[in-house]
Amino acid sequence: MNERGNLLLIVLAAMILLAILPVLLAHLFWPVKLVAQIIFVFVIYSTVRGFMGPGHLTIVISAVLIYFMVFKYFDIMLSLYIFQLMLGVQFLSVIIWGIGTRMR
């Protein structure tokens, strides 16, 4: 049969479940939501400061992004952030695997 297609669907379902799990935890446990919001604030500010440099425009852009991403659309952004982290880890694991197979 088509085992590769079934495995792909299982991996995709697992990634979607892992992206939704932090949102459920944030709704059930208030400290999880608070810690995730604090992490988001630092990540957003450091990213904007890295692109724009220190200054007043950085604070304004960070404030707008923090309002929308942390307070208004927190559930969507948390899912997308976890999904992006999982994709980054998978991409790096493939690169490390490729380097390991070439060095033998």
The predicted pLDDT at position 94 comes to 65
What are the backbone angles phi and psi of residue 54, rounded to the nearest 5°?
Answer: -70, 145
In the numeric block, which tokens belong to residue 18?
Answer: 């892992």
pLDDT of 81 over the 80 cut:
yes
- What are 7-64's pLDDT values in tens digits? 677 777 877 888 788 889 888 999 999 999 999 999 999 999 999 999 999 999 999 9
Q: Which amino acid is at 85?
A: L
List strand residue ranges (DSSP E) for the chain, in order.
Answer: none
Q: What is the DSSP letter of 100?
A: H
The predicted pLDDT at position 22 comes to 85
- d(CA 16, CA 65) in angstroms, rounded, equals 25
Residue whose tokens read 């992490």:
39
